[in-house]
Structure 1
Amino acid sequence: MASGSIEKRGKSSWRLVVEVGDSGVRDKEYKTIKVDDPALLRTTKKLQDYLDDQLHQFKREVESGTYMKPQKLKLDEFYENEWKSKYASNPKNLSPLSYKTYQTYYESHIKEPLGNKELGAIKTIHLVTFIADLHKPEARKDGKEGCLEPGTIQYIYRVLKNILQRATEWKMIKENPIIGVKKPTVEQSEGNFYEEEEANTVISTLYHEPRKWRLFILGALVGGCRRGELVGLEWKSVDLKNRTMEIVNSISLTEDGKAVEKGPKNNSSKRTIALPDWYVEELKLHRRDWLKNMWEKKEAGLWKGDEREYVFHGGYGKPFYHSYPYRWWTRFLIRHNLKKIRFHDLRHSCASLLIEDGAPMKAIQKQLGHAREQTTSDIYAHVTKKLSRDTADRFNKFAPQNLQKHSAIDQPSS
């Protein structure tokens, strides 16, 4: 049975003491209570009742084993010594690219304002202030003008929440202070994409470029593949006979000159994509040239692909540097004065073209590798709205004024 006592420590603070254990060996737990209410401080009985109630709650926490001692560990120390090594560096928890991104955001935006604070001393109001400050121009660390993008602020929130959630799960703090902080909002962007005529122009222009680049870009525009999925694609995943390719690998990061490989974004991203006949015929020609190049490089002792057979590489068998296709795509658009969209927007273009052609949303979900059909519907809501508008406009010919015109024209002359 625990026993307790109350010790006055200052003008408005008291220390609660709870002893537990056998009569021979007693452990003491301490908790400091500060009273800021002037009315309560002036009323002896109410003050005593309040302190007795606090002591009673403290005793229950100690007896049940739920009491957590205030932590002196600082956020920086927890981040460096606990979170990174015991959670974030494990690819099962964070992909290598996400881990690197999380570190970048922590170092550039979280470390300075919060890193030196003790975990147990970080309160919700501190984090409310922190998020509010991120909306100010001085929160930028890259020297550019203006404020941080809403998406960047939301990502910083996500990083901090992840770190504090681990501290909560591991009993370093009793409650996660960020739970009471409203998640920063980001308006769903309609994205940029190619209409059918624009897509035709891009495809025609790609026929003035090397075949491997034409196939790579069309893998996103026609197949709906992510950049990392195409960089990590191997010939063993391509079935030329059945005109399909399997997405089972992704390369979205390169460290120390070596590609960091992982599975696709999620389980739904592991998928089999059906390919158009004309694309497969191009792939067959690419395979023929690919094999010829491999044997030539091996004979010259220049092959660096070992036993791996990446469909797209720079000539020596190693996969492209993860960001190189994006740079090639950007230069290609400038070189041919084409409408500028991000490489990832080629994937959006694929979905938009399929929707406008009447493909079922479920089929598009599987093509893109979304976990839920609702995700596909939400992202491409602007396309379906446009189609709904186009469909409604088809009935304008039945407007009363138009019908009256037709009636007037059809009336026989007297």
Structure 2
Amino acid sequence: MASIQKRGENRWRLVAELGYDAQGKRVQERKTIIVDDPSLLRAPRRLQNYLDAELLKFQMEVEAGHYIRPEKLTFEAFIEIWINKFVEVELQEKTKVSYKFHAERRIVPFFRTMHMDKIKTMHITDYLDYLRTPEASLNRDGKPLGSATIVYNYRVLRSIFAKAVEWRVLKDNPMTGVKKPREDDIKEMEYYDEKEIELLFMALEDEPIQLRLQVTLAVTTGMRRAEMAGLEWKNIDLVNGVIDIKQTVTMFKDGAPVIKGPKNKQSKRRIALAPAVIDEMKLYRTEWAKMKLQLGDKWTAGDSEFLFCRTSGEPSDPERLTKRWISFHRKHDLKPIRLHDLRHTSVSWMVFKKVHSEAIAKRVGHTNTKMLQIYAHIFDSVDQAAADVFDGMVIPAKKKA
């Protein structure tokens, strides 16, 4: 008969019965559980109900053949549990995709059949060393992984084994003592300087209004790509010239946009528009309305009115915004920077124009002004302007004489 045995102050052993074997020996499975909730420990009846429920669940798992002893749990089997109980439940869509990709394509093939309790710190360091070899590359060219990818794998491993300890599959975490790999090939932030900005807007003059507005918004508002993809006309007040950032489109999953709130509390913000940008938006509003009218029944997005949208009315895939930008800067032979670097250009220009750091941080949705320190060196003329304020303060010795 299934039973519960007290093994300590907050520890109990569950015993599930499976009858008798061919030799008449009783077949049992045992599992130890720990109750950490003080309020539960102080309420005997509630505690007993909880233990009874855990015992019934354990007995059913054993009878159904679903229970696996932690010491017999393979890494591959645990990853399936980790994905279903943590990745799919707690992570954002883009992070889900990344975690699952690295776990299934890189990490599982390395540890696949090892039992969880047999994986030691040395195995983790061996894996990180393996990532630095050409064999770890999933590209046809066999180019070694960048340090950022290796660090990302470290983060995924840390999550896997932290959950293994939290769920008491493991007593000790093999990640303890494993240092985070160095990121020694981080790509420096890029931006357009004054002359490059001038070339950019000259190149935009004869481009379609949709592309023109996309690039203009990126430079003049510092919006993130996901914020531009999630922008609807209802979020824009053309009379007062402001944009409210209330939602983002981070990616597409199974052909549908993943629409969520801003990145953080500061990201939900109001951005003022320059008069020239308001004029561009009014022009685009007219063109956009004509396009929607012409689409007729093809418009299936209901009341949604995304600025940058597909012919169905659904928002543009953020990747599409990136591809549009790449095609544009290649066409005009502009310096090749990322779409996100237009956001850096926006901040850099405000630094150049001596806008207060608090105002810049609020405008672009930075959590604090410390993020702006990386922009201080952007334009040589900023430093020169700082030097010029001291002109006249120092009187040369010859003039003093």
For the residues of structure 1 that align with 2:121 and 2:206, how far apart are their CA atoms?
58
From 331, 339, 351, the counterpart of 2:335: 339
Distance in 2 (CA, whole Å) between partners of 1:28 and 1:98 is 36
* Matching of residue 117 in structure 1 with residue 114 in structure 2: yes
Pairwise CA distance, 1:399: 9.5
How far off its partner does 1:194 sit? 0.3
Q: 1:21: Cα distance to partner?
A: 6.2
The CA deviation at 1:330 is: 0.8
Residue correspondence of structure 1 range 265-276 to structure 2 within 5 A: 265-276=263-274
C-alpha contact 2:377 2:383 (8 A) present in aligned 1: no
Q: Does the C-alpha gap of structure 1 residues 65 and 180 become closer, same or farther in structure 2, counting only changes over 3 Å?
A: farther
Q: What SS does the corresponding residue of 2:378 show, helix, strand or coil?
A: helix
Distance 1:172 1:27, change over 3 A: closer
Q: Specify whether residues 152 and 389 from structure 1 end up closer, same or farther in structure 2 by C-alpha distance, changes over 3 A only.
A: farther
Runs of 4+ in structure 1 over 6 Å off: 19-22, 26-29, 62-66, 393-400
Report the residue type matching 1:370 in the other structure. Answer: H
Checking the alignment, whether the CA contact within 8 Å between 1:227 and 1:325 is kept in structure 2 is yes
Matched, 1:83 2:78: no
Structure 1 gaps, min length 5 = 1-18, 30-61
Percent sequence identity is 32
- Give the secondary-structure state (helix, strand or coil) at the position aligned to 1:341: coil
Q: Which residue in 2 is equivalent to 1:72?
A: 72
Q: Check conservation: 2:350, 2:360, Cα contact below 8 A.
A: yes
Moved more, 142-151 or 281-290: 142-151
- Give the deviation of 1:219 after TM superposition: 1.5
1:335 deviates by 0.9
Distance in structure 2 (CA, Å) of the matches to 1:343 and 1:287: 23
Q: Which residue of 1 aligns with 2:66?
A: none
Corresponding position: 1:101 with 2:81: no
- 1:262 aligns with one of 239, 260, 272: 260
When structure 1 is superposed on structure 2, of 386-395 and 357-366 the one drifting more is 386-395
Q: Which residue matches 2:325?
A: 329
Task: Quickly say closer, same or farther: Cα 1:133–1:381, change in 2 above 3 A.
Answer: farther
Shift of 1:170: 2.0
Superposition RMSD in Å = 3.2
Structure 2 unaligned spans of 5+: 16-31, 37-68
What residue is the counterpart of 1:380 in the other structure?
A: 375
Measured after TM superposition, the shift of residue 215 of structure 1 is: 0.8
Distance change >3 Å, CA 277–CA 389, structure 1 → 2: closer
Q: Is it true that 1:130 corresponds to 2:146 in the alignment?
A: no
Q: CA deviation at 1:27?
A: 7.3
Q: Say which is worse superposed, 174-183 or 213-222, in terms of deviation.
A: 174-183
Q: Indicate the structure (1 or 2) with the bigger Cα radius of gyration.
A: 1
Question: Is the Cα–Cα contact under 8 Å of residues 75 and 114 in structure 1 kept in the other structure?
Answer: yes
Deviations 1:263-320 (A, max 9, x none): 222222222111111101111121122222222322xx22132211101124442211
Q: CA deviation at 1:145?
A: 4.5
Q: Which deviations, in whole Å up to 9, do the C-alpha atoms of 1:301-360 show, x marking residues without a partner?
A: 221322111011244422112211111111111111111101111111111111111112
Aligned residue for 1:127, secondary structure, equals helix
8 Å CA contact retained: 1:95, 1:262: no
Query: What is the CA–CA distance in structure 2 between the aligned matches of 1:375 and 1:71, rounded to whole Å?
Result: 46
Render the CA deviation track for 1:57-112: whole Å, top value 9, x for unaligned: xxxxx99989xx853212221221x222222113xx32111111111112222111
Q: Distance in 2 between matches of 1:28 and 1:219?
A: 61
Q: Distance in 2 between matches of 1:63 and 1:309?
A: 53
| Aligned-partner Cα distance in 2 for 1:385–1:115 | 53
Q: 1:75 to 1:205 in 2, by over 3 A?
A: same
TM-score by length of 1: 0.75
> 3-state DSSP class of the match of 2:298?
coil
Q: Are the equivalent residues in 2 in contact too, given 1:190–1:380 (CA < 8 A)?
A: no
How is 1:8-407 mapped onto 2 (pairs within 5 angstroms)? 71-80=71-80, 82-90=81-89, 93-187=90-184, 189-298=187-296, 301-377=297-373, 379-383=374-378, 387-388=382-383, 391-392=386-387
Deviations, residues 224-274 of structure 1 (Å, cap 9, x unaligned): 111111111111111112211111211121123221212222222222111
Q: Aligned in 2, Cα 1:261/1:205: closer, same or farther, shift over 3 Å?
A: same
